[in-house]
Amino acid sequence: MTVTELLRSKGFRITALRTELLTLLQRSDRALTQAEVEQQLRVDVDRATVFRALNAFEEAGLAHRVLDGSGTSCFAACAGDCDEGHHKDAHAHFHCRKCGSVFCLPSVELPKVKVPRGFRMEQSQLELQGTCKACT
């Protein structure tokens, strides 16, 4: 599916920002903060618009949010089977202590855990820390 088709399938109107934003997230090998996104966008938009677009992507299941070591939100494109309001990104995230980047590790699945009776788990996260390929 092309970026345009993907956006349409989630009910988005096609704008230059949305197309470029989603392309940017899909091409990046690591999760991007809003500031990084803004630096790389070629379309001229204000911060509030970028913020709204990122949040709309998250709600629609196009991108998921990860916190970096300092608690800043980073965004990464979803693999494709995430739905509106329901993410299935069951992979670990790697936080590099040297460069501060956060990477999606699709090949590292989250361990299956069983929660006690009466608890209903909706999400789990696994954050690994260390040094990334570029920093090792």
Q: Residues 89-108: x/- map of binding to Zn ion (CB under 5 A)?
A: x------x-xx----x----
On whether the CB atoms of residues 31 and 75 are closer than 8 A, the answer is yes
Minimum distance from CB of 4 to Zn ion (Å)?
A: 19
Cα gap 36→111, rounded to integer Å: 31
Query: Of 76, 77, 94, 102, which lies in the binding site for Zn ion, with binding defined by CB under 5 A?
Result: 76
The yes or no reply on residue 78 touching Zn ion (CB under 5 A) is yes
**Count of residues touching Zn ion (by CB under 5 A):** 12
The yes or no reply on residue 128 touching Zn ion (CB under 5 A) is no
The yes or no reply on residue 64 touching Zn ion (CB under 5 A) is yes
Q: What are phi and psi of 106, to 5 degrees?
A: -60, -25
Cα gap 129→127, rounded to integer Å: 7
